[in-house]
A and B are shown apart, each in its own frame.
Chain A
């Protein structure tokens, strides 16, 4: 039996990107929510993501690393086409990274400045990721209409991150901040609903490939499971967050789990739309793939290391379970 290495790597890359979007998504979302909280709450919010954000961002490096390693012929095409949003995202990620470290170590107006930069960096990075996704889906076609489409996608991504961040805070905080986070979750949900609706309508219009894939009876009927499941997850997050507010017997990680489900379903839909292209309508994963000898070497390493990393990450989440306090360095 021969392995279809490009497919395996496409799946691995997809998993890395999904892990990144969910994991860094919640800490970017927490960053974007900073202005809505008071000073003490901001300390709690930041400390809730403290032990995790370094590792979260590492998934981005793995995702782009896999693109580079497994699909070298597409890597340059994608990254040069996305040049400016990539630069903006990187600068945003850098600003929020340093702001995260420096805000606790400074006082007065300096702390305010770092707080602002933490918000700004998180927002700009999220927006740029949305623009990148929009341009990616449409195969980097130039033109105002496509840019508008990317902007809508970017809005949806920002809203999605806010929702993830808010549900994370429901899980990891308590008292007044948790109640605030429930309100934020609901705003995020509405925003996501609008974003997903617009993107779902616009994508088939913007891309013929996507249209043909989704509107092909009777396959369409089976595919409708995805949007139905998304809607169910959406309703569920709305419901459980409401019950937490009323003090109902719901574990407070439930809304976060629901938000992750929404993201995963949206991601599956996206993956279905794009496969087997790595550059939409132009380069398939088989055309772009690196030589099998290289792919095998990397695959061996990945199969050894990834289970270990996932296990350790689970351990870290266990160690840092429970509600966050404002104090990070004990």
Chain B
């Protein structure tokens, strides 16, 4: 097996592990704040409906969180096992960011989580509420550090060099590098939307099984309304993120838009099959001068193509397609959340076809998030740290056979975990919150003092 195959295996393995890991934080970061809302509503109103809602969703949170913890442990080892050259070269910068992630965020989550999950009857109410808030803060802080590191790898600033190793010259510049604010906002919104669609989807699933469940209707409504607000905001933030990328990583944009050669008045390619061999797009459907117009506000502006960056240019096809999957899914999410918000107005039970659609879209956030990550990570290739370290130079001495065997092991394990996870989620959601739907009279009686 030659080195390029081994490199591809190492990348495939790392990519699989990080993609599988991100599925779970992308839910928990958002869901943690939704739980804070449920918990605070219970503290404020004292209504058992909020308590039961909280108790149902905290179980789903616990399971998702556990999946995130165990797959996250894999990540902490993968840097060393697959990319020993990474820490060697940029460890002085990347290390502290990862250390702070572990110290502040991971610990905050893992220590307060026990009280949040199991301690409701053991600690005073305010301690429990505080624990719930701190877990949410912890998950968001965790995202902060990881995205700071990832953004620094995309658009490194604030560092110097001593004896061939990078050191941080200005930590604030390292943290708040040019792409960080955009990427962080984009990821937080992605996580919020992913969690909201999980809430809406599982609530819809419950309503299919028990149409009288007022609690599920309430959470469905909350989910779609929040999603209807966040989804268009996400589209705007994504657009800003794209313009920021054009400024700092034009090679990635060339791949996203499938621009092979630098020219003026570049068309916007809606669909095509990028042909890397002939360096052109086959079967292209495009809007003349469209790319120049949306990216530079000038139909005749010049845009750099892949040729301007060769040989250190990213592969076009995967970035191009992943970007279209992400945007397409985002559009669907906007349309669906608006439709859902309209159909559930004044607490109406939506028609069954819409419930089935939401149930089917439970994990749609995963697809959009993963597609987005593929765009940003493959779009950075062949660099691991843009302009500083090539991915190939960070690879380790591990043989292709070892990589292949362990990759197989991971795929099998992840397959089992994912199937089990999704089954249990639908099972839990199908059972509902435990408050059985009751006839209106019984409800009125039980509400009387």
**What residues make up the interface of A, taking CB atoms closer than 8 Å to B?**
50-52, 54-55, 57-58, 60-62, 64-70, 72-73, 75-80, 82-84, 86-88, 90-91, 93-95, 97-98, 100-102, 105-106, 290-291, 293-294, 297-298, 301-302, 305-306, 309, 312-313, 316, 319-320, 328-330
Which residue from A52, A66, A75 sits with its C-beta under 8 Å from B87?
A: A75
Please tell me if the beta carbons of B87 and A61 are within 8 angstroms of each other in the complex.
Answer: no
Given known pairs A52-B114, A312-B111, A316-B114, the reply for A106 and B81 (CB within 8 Å) is no
Which residues of the partner chain B approach A75 to less than 8 Å between Cβ atoms? 79-80, 84, 87, 91
**CB within 8 A of A330: which of B96, B100, B121, B428?**
B121
Contact of A68 (CB < 8 Å), options: B55, B72, B87, B100: B87
A94 touches B102 (CB 8 A): no
Partner of A319, one of B87, B123, B162, B410: B123
A293 to B115, CA, bound (A): 37
- Among B118-160, those with CB < 8 Å from A are 118-123
Total residues of chain B contacting the partner, CB 8 A: 70
CA distance A230 to B74 in the complex (A): 34
Query: When chains A and B are docked, how far (Å) is the Cα of A73 from the Cα of B91?
Result: 9
Asked if A68 meets B123 with Cβ closer than 8 Å, knowing A98-B70, A309-B107, A320-B118, the reply is no
Is the CB of B85 closer than 8 A to any CB of chain A? yes
Contact with A along B57-81 (1 / 0, CB 8 A): 0010011011101111110110111
Contact of B85 among A68, A76, A100 (CB under 8 A): A76
Prevailing SS type, chain A contact patch: helix
A-B residue pairs in contact (CB < 8 Å), sample of 15: A54-B69, A62-B107, A64-B80, A79-B77, A79-B80, A80-B398, A83-B398, A94-B73, A102-B420, A105-B427, A105-B428, A290-B91, A294-B91, A306-B103, A328-B118
User: Inside 8 A of A291's CB, which chain B residues have their CB?
Assistant: 92, 162, 165, 167
Closest to A64 in B: B76
Give the residue among A86, A93, A101, A290 with the most B Cβ atoms within 10 A: A101
Instruction: Decide: A69 and B106 in contact? CB cutoff 8 A.
Output: no
Where the two chains meet, the residues of B that have a C-beta atom closer than 8 Å to any C-beta of A are: 55, 59, 62-63, 65-67, 69-74, 76-77, 79-81, 83-85, 87-88, 91-93, 95-96, 98-100, 102-104, 106-107, 109-115, 117-123, 162, 165, 167-168, 171, 396-398, 402, 406, 409-410, 413, 416-417, 420-421, 424, 427-428
**Contact A316 to B111, CB < 8 A, known contacts A75-B91, A297-B171, A298-B95:** yes
Which of B62, B65, B84, B427 makes the CB contact (< 8 A) with A77? B84
B83 to chain A, nearest CB (A): 8
> Could you list 5 further interchain pairs (A-B, Cβ under 8 angstroms) beyond the known A76-B88, A294-B92?
A68-B80, A75-B91, A102-B424, A302-B103, A330-B118
* Contact assessment for B66 and A69 in the assembled complex, using a CB-CB cutoff below 8 Å: no
Contact status of A294 and B96, CB under 8 A, knowing A58-B107, A78-B80, A305-B107? yes
Decide if B92 touches A72 in the complex (CB within 8 Å): yes
What separation, in Å, do the CA atoms of A294 and B165 have in the docked complex? 12
Closest A-chain residue to B95, C-beta based?
Answer: A69
Main secondary structure of the interface of B (DSSP, over half): helix
Residue of B whose beta carbon sits closest to that of A117:
B416
Q: Do the beta carbons of A66 and B85 come within 8 Å of each other?
A: no
Out of A54, A68, A83, A86, which one reaches B113, CB within 8 Å? A54
CA distance A67 to B99 in the complex (A): 10
Closest to A88 in B: B409
Docked CA distance A57–B73 (Å): 8
Which of B77, B99, B410 touches A298 (beta carbons < 8 Å)? Answer: B99
Residue of A nearest to B122 (CB): A319
* Contact (Cβ within 8 A) A69 B74: no
**A298 to chain B: which residues have CB within 8 Å?**
95-96, 99-100
Which chain A residues lie closer than 8 Å to B70 at the CB level? 57, 93-94, 97-98
Q: Are B114 and A51 in contact (CB under 8 A)?
A: yes
Residue pair A76, B84 in contact (C-beta under 8 Å): yes
Asked if residues A61 and B72 are in contact (CB atoms below 8 Å), the reply is: yes
Q: A75-B84, A79-B77 are in contact. Are A68 and B406 (CB under 8 A)?
A: no
Contact B104 A301 (CB under 8 A): yes
Chain A residues with CB under 8 A of B83? 76
B113 lies within 8 A of A106 (CB): no
Verify B123–A100 contact, CB threshold 8 A.
no
**Contact with A101, one of B66, B165, B171 (Cβ below 8 angstroms):** B66
